[in-house]
Amino acid sequence: MASSPCPAGAGASPAVSITGADLRFGATCHFEGLDLVVEAGRTTCLLGPSGVGKSSLLRALAGLAPAGLSGRIAADDGRPLAGRVALMDRRDCLVPWASVLDNVMLGARLRGDAAEPERAAALLGRLGLHEALALRPAALSGGMRQRVALARTLYEARPVILMDEPFSALDAVTRYRLQGETAREIAGRTVLLVTHDPGEALRLGDRVLVLAGRPARLTEVAVPAGPLPRDPGAADVAAAESRLLAALAAEAA
């Protein structure tokens, strides 16, 4: 199935980076002098143990200025990132009072832009939610709600997508299916996907970075070339997974 085209108005997806990042809480220094580059038009997966600071890096790129984190944020085309980023969190956070369709169009309403219900409906249809348009979130399962959150993210039509463990709250089967659908939809955009699941990183990442250690350091793990999503059963993927796990273990030591 054709991937969703990157909207021309936002420009081609730029590469984004945070350089010289420090994360300190009181006397503890989680990391310092970190440089993270999210390559243009490709999906970068950031892997690491809980609490290492992956979410802080992602939120900094989203413009949310998390506590304790400092660093320089830039896009490679020199323009500010505000308004060019879409955020997807592990909690769907749909508004309970609006229908699925209205939830998808929330961003437009908040910005005062014209709502485009047909585009929203088409997005939802591609994700298999064409029968749920008028339902309220309370009537949906967790997997369906996260799909709606994905549709909302895509509706924003932003060149940069930041995803913070978007599937971690779902069961394995739903997670697997949603990973596949997501990979299809985000192709061509600049994506940073934070995850703690090595399998997920390998399925979805053009590039996989590991953030681990005390203080934390970023290391890249080589991944096989080829189209996404990768097949987890393939031999080179399995080999990459053991390399990934070794890297995680080594940093933890």
Partner 1 sequence: MKQIAAGIATLALLVLFWQVVVWLAAPPPFILPGPAAVARALMDQGGLLLRHGWLTLVEIVAGMAVGSLMGIGAGIGLGATRHLRHLLLPLVVASQAIPVFAVAPLLVLWLGFGLASKIAMASLIIFFPVTVAMADGITRLDPVLADQARVMTGGSARPGRRLRLIRHLYGPAALPALASGLRIAAAVAPIGAVVGEWVGAAGGLGWLMLQANARARIDLMFAALIVLAVMAVALYRLVDAGLRRAAPWAAPQSPIS
CB of 73 to partner 1, least distance (A): 12
CB of 86 to partner 1, least distance (A): 7
CB of 180 to partner 1, least distance (A): 25
**Of 217, 196, 199, 213, which Cα lies nearest the Cα of 48?**
196
Q: Which is nearer to partner 1, 7 or 226 (CB)?
A: 7
CB of 143 to partner 1, least distance (A): 18
Q: Which is nearer to partner 1, 24 or 136 (CB)?
A: 136
Q: Which stretches of the chain are assigned E, i.e. beta strand?
A: 16-25, 28-38, 43-47, 69-75, 85-88, 160-164, 190-195, 207-212, 217-221
Contact residues: partner 1, CB under 8 A: 59, 62-64, 80, 82-87, 89, 91, 93, 95-98, 106-107, 109-113, 136, 138, 156
Contact 20, 72 (CB under 8 A): yes
Q: Which is nearer to partner 1, 113 or 171 (CB)?
A: 113
191 burial (CB, 10 Å; 0-12 / 13-18 / 19+) is buried
Q: Which is nearer to partner 1, 84 or 175 (CB)?
A: 84
CA dihedral 240, 246, 248, 251 (to 10 degrees): -140
d(CA 201, CA 192): 11
Q: Are strands 190-195 and 160-164 parallel, antiparallel or unpaired?
A: parallel
Q: Are strands 190-195 and 43-47 parallel, antiparallel or unpaired?
A: parallel
Q: Which is nearer to partner 1, 115 or 237 (CB)?
A: 115
Tokens 């796990």 sit at which residue? 245
CB of 89 to partner 1, least distance (A): 5
